[in-house]
Chains A and B, each alone.
Chain A
């Protein structure tokens, strides 16, 4: 299959849908909220979550196979809903920022919708918005020395670095993430998009590297973090000539 823009959209959406589906099947925030706040029994709450997971998968398959305004918009809303459940369930570092951290996931179906409608300016705007929010949120978490990120770094270096070294590295990472978010949003800089693709892929892969292949759903749900950059790059390269790239990035 030729790696066209629709193909990238379809692949990244498929990975995202599969990743979310697998996470819902394992038990996620929805069942936790139903059990802890609504008063459902464990069996009921898991049942509801499984039904939700299957419905999500069916909608996802339809969205990729027969994309339409209704199903892509619904998919985006459901992903937003899932992020909101993480926010309400809490129990994770920075869960209060889940919606912002998941913004590339939330906007990806919408960006595809506007791409199909040939409203490229809105498509590009959505992708940039998603990347900017996701990178800025992760940058903020890095600056706050999220202990999970510290352990990724120490694990990546096979315990050869100290916690304070990892903390310093996180400050750098945080600053870069926030600068990249700013560059994607405000400044026309292609290097920032290249960085998004590279860093998004690296950090998504780190989840699997750190906790094993069994955690590949963690990688899948983060596919939009680098695919959004890839799409942005592809769209501006294909549709605009070099001199137009900067202008269109600015005006989109």
Chain B
């Protein structure tokens, strides 16, 4: 009799475990937050990143140059190179952000200028199919978007969560719309300060909102990331990965992106030492990049020529003291800056004075963050410069010898438009 009872209990336990497995199986269906990061060689390499709500054992990206309905038909797959539990505190859970895991998979050996369809899977749960387009190595033309500061903003009337913000969503929808209208846009250069801080209660909602940049056809716009003063927490390094890059600067978040064979973007990090290793690296990198590229762009978070904050603030002084002389020496074509929460375009500046041969600094951050009132009376905005309080995203249309730079407001209206000649000779 005892044996029968024991057997019965065993069967009951097994059934319960099976049921539990199924419940867990349903939970693991959640693979969210698709994103692509471009680092040094976007013509042949990209990082596919996502979030899963269960740890899982196997994380893979299936990809191909043609679309497939079935996961089995993709000709290529790569195992995720970096997986881990996202640091989650009690207050993150209270905000509605669930416990989650990050995954970063490096796709290598990609073909230049190709459409890549992909799905990411954690165990047997796979995402819908998305696609992105790799950078075109041989092209002299390139269109990219630039914007920064997408942390907080007006609260969303449809969503009670304070971390979900209407203006940020609006800007993301605008980006998706622009991508549909202008499929030649290749990437979004992000000037940092993504969320209020890099804790999960903010990043989770930032990634949710970022999905709005995906077009209805499933096109994911690659991100070229930088690090800002609100991205210091561990959540940033967990969720924004550069993977394998040269110079061992992966944690430093400064690197050169070869957008095409003739266009390079140098991303710098204002949140680490500006005068140390990064300065040495920049001193070597800039002449090389200038010599090899018709167009040389730089981006970083804290501005050299601020539109809003105090001109003499020590971190801005440091950008002018250590980096700007190198930019000028190497004839950088344009500098992209964020942090201020305004829209700005300086006059060309050389040796801290207006000079037609100088560098134009644009940006200051308007991807959803509440806008501040800038100082248009500052010398670098008068006689050809611009400073206003407008949410915005920049479009850089780069051709062989000229670049068209445009700023679009939150409703898609064009606010600024100016041409630029390459300083390459």
Q: Report A's interface with B, CB cutoff 8 A.
A: 26-27, 35-37, 39, 42-43, 46, 90-93, 147-148, 150-151, 154-155, 159, 162-163, 166, 207, 210-212, 214-215, 218
Distance in angstroms from B271 CB to nearest chain A CB is: 7
Interface hit among B60-68, B207-215, B366-374: B366-374
The 9 A-B residue pairs with the shortest CB-CB distance, nearest first, are A163-B276, A214-B312, A211-B314, A154-B275, A211-B317, A42-B372, A91-B229, A150-B273, A147-B273
**Chain A: CB-nearest residue to B279:** A159
Selected from A35, A92, A155, the residue in CB contact (under 8 A) with B275 is A155
A154 to B196, CA, bound (A): 31
Instruction: Please give the number of chain B residues whose Cβ is less than 8 angstroms from any Cβ of chain A in the complex.
Output: 34
> Would you give the 0/1 interface string for B367-397, flagging 1 where the beta carbon is closer than 8 Å to chain A?
0011111000000000000000100000000
Complex contact B275–A159 (CB within 8 A): yes
> Would you give the 0/1 interface string for B143-171, flagging 1 where the beta carbon is closer than 8 Å to chain A?
00000000110110000000000000000
Complex contact B232–A151 (CB within 8 A): no
B8 CB within 8 Å of chain A: no
Complex contact B272–A147 (CB within 8 A): yes
A46 CB contacts on chain B under 8 angstroms: 373
A107 to B272, CA, bound (A): 32
A212 CB contacts on chain B under 8 angstroms: 312, 317
Complex contact B310–A42 (CB within 8 A): no
A to B CB contacts below 8 Å, 10 in the list: A42-B371, A42-B389, A147-B273, A147-B274, A154-B273, A154-B275, A155-B318, A162-B280, A210-B314, A210-B317
**Count: A-B pairs, CB below 8 Å:** 81
9 extra interface residue pairs, beta carbon distance < 8 Å, beyond A27-B309, A36-B370, A42-B370: A36-B369, A39-B154, A147-B274, A151-B273, A155-B318, A163-B273, A212-B317, A215-B313, A218-B314
A43 to B274, CA, bound (A): 32
Selected from A39, A42, A207, the residue in CB contact (under 8 A) with B314 is A207
Complex contact B275–A151 (CB within 8 A): yes
A215 CB contacts on chain B under 8 angstroms: 312-314, 317
Complex contact B197–A90 (CB within 8 A): yes
B137 CB within 8 Å of chain A: no
**Chain B: CB-nearest residue to A208:** B314
B230 CB within 8 Å of chain A: yes
B232 CB contacts on chain A under 8 angstroms: 90, 93
Listed residue (B314, B317, B372) with the most chain A CB atoms within 10 angstroms of its CB: B314
Complex contact B370–A163 (CB within 8 A): no
B371 CB contacts on chain A under 8 angstroms: 42
